[in-house]
Each structure stands twice: as C-alpha cells, then as structure tokens.
Structure 1
Amino acid sequence: MLQANWDKSTQQSIQGKTALVLLGIVLLSLFFPLFLSGVGLFLSLWVIVPAPTFWMLPLAVAAPEASPWLLGVNAIALILAILNLQEGGLDNFAVICSLIGLILSLLPLIQFPGVNARIAAQMQRDLGLEDWATITPDAPTPMRPQPFSLADAFRGIAIAKRCCFQQIAEVRIDRGIIFSQPDGVNLKLNVYRPLTVGKYPAIITIYGGAWQVGTPDNNETFNRYMANQGYSVIAIDYRHAPQYHFPAQLEDVQAALSYIQSHAHELEIDTERIALMGRSAGAQLAALAAYHLNTIPIRAVVNYYGPVDLKEGYHDLPFPDPLNIRAILRAFLAGTPDEVPELYLEASPIRYVKSNLPPTLLVYAGRDHIIKAKFGRQLYEQLQAADNCAVWLEIPWAEHAFDAVFNGVSNQLALYYTERFLAWALKSS
C-alpha cells in the first residue's frame, strides 16, 4: 500500500516536472528570439551611444571592439525572429530590433577599410617609406600580416600558445624589481624579454589610470606580445594622486629611466634603442619625459590617447563626462588652473614642443569621452610644424582605452601600425 502511494506520488511529481519543462520550452520558443534581439540591440547601441557614467563606460569601450561578436548575435536573433514570424505581435518587434542591432554592429567594420587606407598612406608618407616591406626586423614571431583578422577577433591574436581567448607569448618575466623608494614607497618595474638571452631594443611602458590607479602588471598581454617580437619591455610604476601630486609622478619616471640606464646590461637592453610608450595618463608622463627630461636618449614615443594640454582639457570637457575630468585634474595638480596655473603648464607636453624631438606615434580614439582626440591632433600638428617626425592615427569609432580589448577591431588596427612604427624606429636603422 505504501509502495503504491509512493509510486503514484512519484509519478505525479514527474508528470508535474515534465509539464513545467514543456511549458518552459514553449515559452522559450516564443520569447527567446525577442530576448536575444533585445540583448543584441542593447549591446549594439553602445557602438554609438557614449557612456553617461563611469559604470557604463566599459559598455561603450567594448561594444565597438566586439562588433564581430555583436554582428553574429544580431544575425542569429534576426534569423530566429524571421523563422518565428507571425502576423503582428512581438515577433515583428524582434525583427526590427535585430535589424537595428545588425546595422549598428556593422558600423566599425564598414568604416575599417577606408580608415586603414588613410592611415597606411599617411604613415608611409610621414615615415618616408615606399612600402612596409622595407621594415623586416628579426623577431621570434613575425609582425601581424594584416591590420584586421576576423578569425583573430573571435579566437584571440596569435602569439605563441593558447590560453582562454588569448594567445599568450612564452617570454621571460621578472616582476616586482624595486627601482626607487621615495617617501618609503616601493616603486617597482616588470621586465618582459624574449626566451633567448641577448641585447634588445627596449620599450618602456607607463600605465594609465587617471594618475590614481594601476600597476606595472597592466597591459601584460601587449607587453608579452612585444617581448615576443624581440624587445625588452619594461613596465614601470609611479606614485599616485591624490596622495602625491605632480611632479612626483614625473620624478618617479625619471628615477625609473635612470635605474634602467644603470642596469642596462642585466635588463638586456640596448641603451641606444629605447622607446617610451604610455596610455592615457601614462602617455602624458611618457611625452613629458621624452620632450622635457634629458635622463636617457629616447629614440621614439608612442602616445595612446594621452592628455597634452591640461589647462585646455580642464575647460573644454567631453560630453558626457563619465569620469569627472576636472576632479581628476584637481587631484593630480592640487588645484584648478586659476589656483596653480604654473603646474598646468608644466604638466602639459604640448608646452615642450621644439625641434629635434624623438619621432612620435599618436594613437587616439575618435569617440573618446575622456581625452578629446582634437588635443592629440593639435600636438601632432605642432610637432610637424617644428620639423619633427610625427604620425597621426585616429580611430573614429573607438572609445578611450579601446586597446583593453586586445583582439578588438581597434586594437588590431593600432597594434598593426604600432609594431611597424617601433620596428622602424628601433630596428631598421
């Protein structure tokens, strides 16, 4: 009797669960196309919509870079919506959402050929190259053969061995080397080198982060990639605002450069072939060090979306302004341009433009809502007016820190020309 009741109860439970599963399948078949279309449209909107707040900034940064992925999502959603299409109702709305998302996700890819052609022509002209074949440096891994690969957008940029969605270079890494201790703060650097012991051109990288956050571990995929290209890449640290105000950060960069020069042998670097590279706040420090300091000879500067005129940047704000640029500058310089005008001048790389500066590659995002691209353009024009070699690379669909998505559309383009610029500056002469 008990067994019969148990069997009956179990059977009813199974039947109830089966009914719920079937109901779920029916609801999923009815509403999944609409759900997928909505998600695809929401994410694709960030290709053109600027982030109003800091928390939404990652969406605006990542959406253009992930446009091949979004294209796939929107295409699948559109197909499902069409297959499920009925007279009127939600399926028609799903089709419309998918079509809009599809168009938005196509925008970076549609623009890519024209932008690439313009950059290639301008860069060859500025560097005096007839074609890229003249740059053929020896390296463990050859340079990227093309500025964009759809396969790399999905699988990651090939370096050496696969790890998740990235291809991680097998290089030697030494972390946490203390190069200075101002005010008792341990400032460290990381060194990324090819597997073979030797003497290599050096790329000294300075991280961004509004002068307030970051470590030498930032941008490690790029550092590994370039080490695998035959460089010693040295990522350096500096003290952060608001606890430490400018020029403390520049002093720390100078200390790092002095340390690198005095330890060149053990770091395996050629002191005659050194480039400074920075991103955002780090680019400002790299440009100041190259244009203003005379610590060590610098052969080239790579400036990724760095501030160059801090007073103008304080008054000419992006809209929207998700990071509150004025608050960042006040924390960095301990005041407003009216309160500390001399510091705003001293911290502006554009102030130090003169002749005989190192060749400079300026990489800026056309939709940057942190550092307006027009300021980078002004630096480029002033460098050229002073008879310096300067190259301008603007990516119209990209947002600030686009290269955080290493296999993204914009970083593939920037990386293609950055590695050629560095090979030209450090290896070809």
Structure 2
Amino acid sequence: MVRLILSVLLFLVSLLVIFGAPEYHIWMLAVAVNSYPLVFTGITFILLLSLISLRRYRLPAVLTAVIAFALFLYPVVNAWSVARSLPNAFNSAVNSTEAKAISYKPFSFLQLLKGPPAMPFKTITYDSASHLTFDYYRNSKQQKQPCVVVVHGGSWSGGNSRQLPGLNGYLSVRGYNVASINYHLAPKYRNPVPVEDVRHLINYLKANAIQLNIDTGRFVLLGRSAGAQIALLAAYAHPDKNIKGVIDFYGPADMVWGYSVPANPLIMNSRKVMQNYIGDAYEKMPDKYAASSPVLFVNERTVPTLIIHGDNDVLVSPLHSTKLDSVLSKNKVPHLLVQLPWATHGFDYNLNGPGGQLSTYLTLRFLQVVCR
C-alpha cells in the first residue's frame, strides 16, 4: 500500500509539467520539477524497481509510476526537441548569420548532470544616499567588454541581487561584465523609482568604466519577472544609444491588461502586487498603469529584444510576452519570442536544467549579436 501511495504521489507531482500549479507552494514544487527532472525520474525509476516484488496493487502502482516517469522526462525530451530548431529560429528572427559561429550547443543531456557554477563577485555601492548596491562580476578578459545589467524579480517588493546568480558568473567567464542591481522596493517606493535606479546604475558604470573594464557603448539589460518589466521600461521609455538590447525572462509587459486578468489568488494576489508597485487600483490611476506598460512604448527605434516565457507560467501569463511579441513585430523591431511548452515561472532556477540550458544559449547568442 505504501508503494502504491508513493506511485500516486509521484504521478500527481509529474502532472505539474503539463498543468499549471493551483497553489503557491505547489508552484515552488513545479519549479523543482522543471529544474531537476533527472532527480524526479531517478526517484521514480527506483520506485519502479521496487514494485517488481509487490504482490497487491502491483498493476495500478506500476501504471502510475510509469506515467510519472514519462512525464518527468517530458521537459528533457521537449528541450531537446526545441533545441534542434533553435539556432535557425534565432538567426531568422534577428537576421544574423555570424552568430552561427558560437561554440555552444542549445541543449546537452550531459549538462543536466552538472552542478551550478560559482563565480566570485564584488559588491559595490552605486547610491550612497540610499545605500543601494550591485554585485559586479568582472569579465575574464583584459580589454574593455560589454556590461549586462541584471534586474532581479520578486513582485517589485522582494528579491535581491543574489537571485539566480549562476547566469551572472557564466556570462563573466564568457567575457561579459555583469552588474546585478539592488533597487528600491515597493510598497515604500513605487514606479518609476526602480527604473530610475537602473538608469542611475548605468550612469555610475559609465563614470567608473575604466576601473570596471566596461565598454560604455555596449550595455544590455536583463530582467526576470518584475525585474523584466523594469528592464523593458528602462530600455523602451528612456532610450539610450548605449543600451544595445534587452532580455525579458517571463516579465509582465502590459500592466493595463494584466490588471484586468488577475492571477489565481492562491498563487499570488497580482492586483495587490501591482497596486503596491504603481500606487493604487487601475480605476484610480489608469495613466500610471499605462506609463508602467512597456508594450505602450514600443516604436520602430526600440532596441532588439529577446523574450523567453514558459507556457505553464501561473504567476505571469505568457500572454504578456505574446502581446509584446506582436507589438514588436508590427514595429519591425528585431526580436525573438521563445515559448517553452512545459516551463513554469522561474524555469531557469537551475542553469543546467532544460529551461536553464536553452535560455543560457539564447542569452549568449543575443549578446553576441547586439554587442558586436
């Protein structure tokens, strides 16, 4: 009976790769399933071996365990499938052929077995009045190199510069400087304060470019979730010739539409989160919601954009990204939207997981093109 119960539990957990999580803590479990599929397939395989000696309930236990095993492998198989067409899709979207030379595969089964990279960084204060800092990952080369400004997520009210540091270190090894910012948080501080913090940091990096080994003509903004909204708005609403592109990981791009279609309250009270960031309900300040919506600032001069979103995202609807994709297409802005069918919010938690590998590949390709 115990092994049957375990089979059923694993089966229920495996459903998170095809169905959205119904509750916040279950969503966190979904992130683990997305990020470490081999752990769950391994557990299920061991259980299957133990079922050979089971006398009662063997058939239902084996059936549920086999289905769970297959579903846990789905992100791996799907990532492999997506990876096959990704190089050509990227080249077509950004009209680039020189990016083909990159010596990095979109997906590797062996990479799934590796642990997260750890790279040194230095914490620097860029706003002494507010005691705001950023974590700086210096590139591995001697000459001046581009700088990626990373804006963390956390519903605009939480998170910090140490969030998902694996990509920061990896990019520094690949020759890019990375500045992961801490910014003023809601509800004490509201939009556009965090956007102004990003601009303030860029000015600081420019002023200290010699010491930091930065090429001041090549900045790229990268944001996750709420941080993606900040990064997009900083790039779109405040054009800067030195910002060459923006990378959007599952960010809310249309705050007006987003307020009208709230998330599952058991996952997140999205309207309350937006009110804390913007100031009040949409009905009371529609202009501020419009001013916080990156989609409304897109024009033919908008910088190239990379968008990566999971179709199984229960915190930020993937429709935010499809809306942004549509507006960028209408304005003929070089961009690429990559939707991962199995992926939930935070799918890149493990840099070597299925989503982490694909998004890292895309980030490197994008940086290579826009920073050339």
Q: TM-score, normalised by structure 1?
A: 0.81
Shift in CA distance, 119/374, structure 1 to aligned 2, threshold 3 Å: farther
Q: Distance in 2 between matches of 1:228 and 1:363?
A: 22
Q: Determine the structure 1 residue equivalent to 2:350.
A: 405
Are the counterparts in 2 of residues 49 and 60 from structure 1 also a CA contact under 8 Å?
A: no
Q: Determine the structure 2 residue equivalent to 1:106.
A: 73
Q: Offset of 1:270 from its aligned partner?
A: 0.3
1:44-193, aligned counterparts within 5 Å?
A: 44-81=14-51, 83-86=52-55, 89-130=56-97, 132-134=99-101, 136=102, 143-144=103-104, 146-154=105-113, 156=114, 165-169=115-119, 171=120, 173-175=121-123, 177-181=124-128, 184-193=129-138
Q: Could you say what the CA RMSD is over the residues aligned between the two structures, in angstroms?
A: 2.1
Residues 52-103 of structure 1: CA distance to partner in whole angstroms, max 9, x if unpaired?
222222112221332232222222222221x2143xx233332122122122
Q: How many residues align?
A: 372
Letter matched to residue 68 of structure 1: L
Q: Distance in 1 between matches of 2:68 and 2:107?
A: 22
Are the counterparts in 1 of residues 24 and 267 from structure 2 also a CA contact under 8 Å?
A: yes
Q: Determine the structure 2 residue equivalent to 1:336.
A: 281
Letter matched to residue 273 of structure 2: I
Q: Distance in 2 between matches of 1:48 and 1:387?
A: 33
Residues 240-271 of structure 1: CA distance to partner in whole angstroms, max 9, x if unpaired?
00111111111211211211111111111101
Alignment match of 2:229 (pick from 272, 284, 287): 284
Q: What stretches of structure 2 of length at least 5 have no aligned partner?
A: none
Q: What stretches of structure 1 of length at least 5 have no aligned partner?
A: 1-30, 137-142, 157-164
In our comparison, the structure showing a higher alpha carbon Rg is 1
1:324 aligns with 2:269: yes
Q: Distance in 2 between matches of 1:356 and 1:296?
A: 10
Q: Distance in 2 between matches of 1:166 and 1:266?
A: 29
Alignment match of 2:363 (pick from 418, 425, 428): 418
1:338 is paired with a residue of what secondary structure?
Answer: helix
Q: Distance in 2 between matches of 1:147 and 1:123?
A: 11
- Percent of aligned pairs with the same amino acid: 29
Q: Offset of 1:126 from its aligned partner?
A: 1.3
Q: Distance in 2 between matches of 1:67 and 1:33?
A: 21
Q: Offset of 1:198 from its aligned partner?
A: 3.1
- Of the structure 1 ranges 304-313 and 215-224, higher mean CA displacement relative to structure 2 is found in 215-224
Q: Offset of 1:369 from its aligned partner?
A: 0.9
2:17 is paired with a residue of what secondary structure?
Answer: coil
1:380 aligns with 2:308: no
- Of the structure 1 ranges 370-379 and 290-299, higher mean CA displacement relative to structure 2 is found in 290-299
Letter matched to residue 41 of structure 2: L
Residues 203-225 of structure 1: CA distance to partner in whole angstroms, max 9, x if unpaired?
11111111011222222111111
1:197-276, aligned counterparts within 5 Å?
A: 197-276=142-221
Shift in CA distance, 425/310, structure 1 to aligned 2, threshold 3 Å: same
Residues 343-372 of structure 1: CA distance to partner in whole angstroms, max 9, x if unpaired?
101111011001122111011111111111
Letter matched to residue 109 of structure 2: L
Q: Which has the higher contact order (CA 8 A, sep 6+)?
A: 2
Q: Distance in 2 between matches of 1:405 and 1:333?
A: 31
Shift >6 Å, 4+ stretches: none
1:361 aligns with 2:303: no
